[in-house]
Amino acid sequence: MSHKIRILIADDHAIIRHGLKQILSDTDDMVLAAEADGGVAALQLLRSVECDVVLMDVSMPDRNGIDTLKLIKKEFPRLPVLILSMHPEEQYAVRALRAGAAGYLSKQAAPEQLVVALRQVASGKKYVSAEVAEELANAIGEDFDRLPHEKLSDREYQTLCMISSGKTLTQIAEQLNLSVKTVSVYRARLLEKMRLRNNAELTHYGLKNGLVE
């Protein structure tokens, strides 16, 4: 390559950052561009430091990696982000890739696998392990086989139907004999599961799919 791959590391654990920096220093075509101990610091550094890849943990105390990833992709849409996490693939991989990650790798992976992943995403390609590929295949199968509202719990489904019918959270709480706070949690969950943003989109979905009570 004409220049070394410049990598920004974002992880709140100093020991992990040290280990990652050692891997980079042992790799001829890579160099550390900067390091951050959280999502906020990573985003600030990206505005002043030139880098080719962001290597980021998914769990950070100030702002989690998925939220940070979305902000990075909004501000730097072409910058590849490789998520490195202690969480098993089935918990976060699909969500991370859908949020814009160029790849997802477990911290259990060997250093050689990390180097391969970094080179791959730096070249503009996606990187997924065999485990992540399987999770993606399962997720695609689920998406084709089931409508979004069919993945909701009973309470979430009830909340969807009632919001689609024009009921307020207070009215729903009274009808289901729940607190408004609990209904708000159900609403937040179903918005996330269905990838919708607000009540208007929920109502549109409910009307379109005949869910209005």
Q: What is the number of domains present in the chain?
A: 2
Entry pTM: 0.65
User: Residue 166: which CATH number?
Assistant: 1.10.10.10
Amino acid at 25: S
Distance CA 129, CA 131 (A): 5
Same domain, 130 and 26: yes
Q: Can you give the residue range of the structural domain that contains 175? A: 148-208
Same domain, 33 and 134: yes
Highest-confidence segment of 90-99, 131-140, 149-158:
149-158
> Which residue among 100, 121, 140 closes a domain?
140
Same domain, 30 and 124: yes
φ, ψ at 128 (rounded to 5°): -135, 140
In a domain, 213, yes or no: no
Distance CA 32, CA 49 (A): 11
- Tell me what percent of the chain is helix, strand and coil, each rounded to the nearest 5: 55, 15, 30
**Taking 70 as the threshold, does the pLDDT of residue 161 lie above it?**
yes
Same domain, 159 and 70: no
Q: 27-86: per-residue pLDDT in tens?
A: 999 999 999 998 899 999 999 999 999 999 987 777 767 788 989 999 999 999 999 888
Distance CA 99, CA 66 (A): 7
**Taking 50 as the threshold, does the pLDDT of residue 200 lie above it?**
yes
Same domain, 135 and 164: no
Sign of CA dihedral 138, 152, 99, 57: negative
Same domain, 42 and 113: yes
Q: 7-42: per-residue pLDDT in tens?
A: 999 999 999 999 999 999 999 999 999 999 988 999
One DSSP character per residue, 113-178 reads HHHHHHHHHHTT--EE-HHHHHHHHHHHHHHHHS-GGGGS-HHHHHHHHHHHTT--HHHHHHHHT-
Same domain, 195 and 108: no
Mean pLDDT of 119-124: 96
In a domain, 81, yes or no: yes
> Which residue among 124, 140, 156 closes a domain?
140
In a domain, 130, yes or no: yes
